[in-house]
Amino acid sequence: MKDETPQGVTDSERFLSELCSRTFLYIWSYANPFKDDGHEFCDVLAVFENHVFIFFDREKVLSDFIEGEDPSVRWSRWKRNVVDRQVKAARGAERYLRSGRKIYLDAKKTRELPIPLKLEDVTIHKIIVAHGATEACKNFSESNIHGSLAISYGESANIPEWPFIVHLDRSDPVHIFDTHNLPIVLGTLDTIKDFSDYLNAKIDAISLFNLLCYCGEEDLLAHYLQNTNPQTNKHFIGSPDPTFDAIIIAEGAWQDLIARQWYVETQSANKRSYLWDRIIKNACDHWLGGTLLGDGHPLNEHGAIFEMAKEPRFMRREAVDTMLRAINAFPDTKGRPARYLSLFGSYCPEKAYVFLQLWIPPAIRGDDETYRAKRQEILRIACGSAKNHYPQFKKIVGICIPPPKLENNFGEDFIWLDCTQWTEEQCNEYDRLNRDWGFFETGTPNVQRAVEFVLPSHEIGRRNASQQKMRRNEPCYCGSGKKFKRCHGT
């Protein structure tokens, strides 16, 4: 069993562990794991599905430069200790993983990493967190707003050293965060899907353009959030213009973004989506405590909790909105049995959720064990009936709770129904079981799939109308050769 308390040797490692526990949830992130030789593997390791995130955290204070001193000397020494060595360690960690050697949670090697690694189809993200240069960076240049490290990905040969600019080889990309932008990135991209999508978009841009350069990771994030492909409804980095071979993101893009009304409203709208996170965490707490009923193992990739953890933030917001509307619509009566069923989609077009509120008066429930088993069976029938009415879905996730209007006990039941191979016998069986319940018999409502976008749904139209005006202010430059001009994505 895993302790959910954020761990780490230093204060910065503990802070990193805490941030990762929020983004990846604590059962999928592990602080200070070990190799089979007893040496520490990395500072934080997060594993989910076919994604592995390797974090290295290093802190060493870089003091202000003295007048008359060659700043490149002390900068080179700091960068070599805090960045270059960690980059080398991260690449070594990737080789270790790909070799198939084991990861342990303790130095004595008594507990193996409980999540199997799919080495044949794994994406490994190498992330360095470099602390200690923020104040020196701000004091070195008045143009630097927050002391973030500037990053460039390109051909590293013959590039001169210059303080607070980290040049990285684009052939084997490593992500560099710092004290200022680490909480911004993990706080904004605080689901596994959102964070991995951003890193993947960044890798795509590094591969596509001969040069990707930005003044701080937060500025690149702002650029990413404001660029959306209208065909895929996904964010991207760079420009669709095939003639550009370089992208430069100027200082202040993040400051501009967070001051915009649509971004402020989006962040406000996202607050209610954390109910989804709390539901997942509650199930994980019960699993760790040995009180989770049924077969809902959170680490099982064929399970309801795992499917819920896949959802990006925008989808969690849409799901919670649907659930709250259903909760408010439940009939306010305690005298007789009642139920209320809702169906909503996922970011994955082949997956749907059944949300069932079921009320049985305590006087006729029977004992708790019998009642809970009956409630799970009813949820299973609802999920199977959903598949019969919506044949396009291959996965149905069921969530059942007592109506909060009538009961404070918020015990949830979860079901994951694999509908990939849906036989005629199954279809007939669920039709028969549904005769007593009549799920979906009042009609087949439309399932609206949410659009992947940083904006809340009521803001999409308003932003599209003013998009061109906003784009003129975006501090992004694209170019070919030595010629650059402003670029505004789509």
Pairing of strands 476-480, 483-486: antiparallel
d(CA 36, CA 111): 11
Q: Is 87 helix (H, G, I), strand (E, B) or coil?
A: helix
H-type helices in 168-260, by residue range?
181-188, 192-208, 217-225, 253-258
H-type helices in 311-422, by residue range?
313-329, 368-389
DSSP state of 70: -
d(CA 271, CA 295): 30
Q: Are 83 and 176 in contact (CB under 8 A)?
A: yes
Handedness of CA 321, 323, 328, 329 (dihedral sign): positive
pTM, 2 dp: 0.87
d(CA 313, CA 324): 16
Q: Is 25 left (phi over 0), alpha (psi -120 to 50) or beta?
A: left
d(CA 117, CA 93): 14
| Best CA proximity match to 405, nearest among 344, 338, 480 | 338
Q: What is the pLDDT along the chain (490 residues), one digit of tens a residue?
A: 455 544 656 888 888 999 998 888 878 999 999 999 999 999 999 999 999 999 999 999 988 877 777 888 889 999 999 999 999 999 999 999 999 999 999 999 999 999 888 888 899 999 999 999 989 888 887 777 788 999 999 876 556 678 889 999 899 999 999 999 999 999 999 999 999 999 999 999 999 999 999 999 999 999 999 998 888 889 999 988 888 889 999 889 999 999 999 999 999 999 999 999 999 988 888 777 666 655 556 776 778 999 999 999 999 999 999 999 999 999 888 888 889 999 999 999 999 999 999 998 888 888 888 888 898 999 999 999 999 999 999 999 999 999 999 988 767 889 899 999 999 999 999 999 999 899 987 654 445 444 333 433 334 333 333 333 233 333 444 444 434 344 433 3
| Alpha-carbon separation of residue 66 from 59, 133, 226 (angstroms) | 21, 15, 40
Pairing of strands 228-229, 338-345: unpaired
Q: Token pair for residue 423?
A: 């036989």
d(CA 326, CA 342): 7
Query: Which residue in the block uniquely carries the two structure tokens 């709250």?
Result: 324
Q: Token pair for residue 284?
A: 């994980």
Helices 181-188, 217-225: inter-axial angle, 10-degree rounding: 30
d(CA 1, CA 367): 30
User: ∠261-266-268 over CA atoms, to 5°?
Assistant: 95
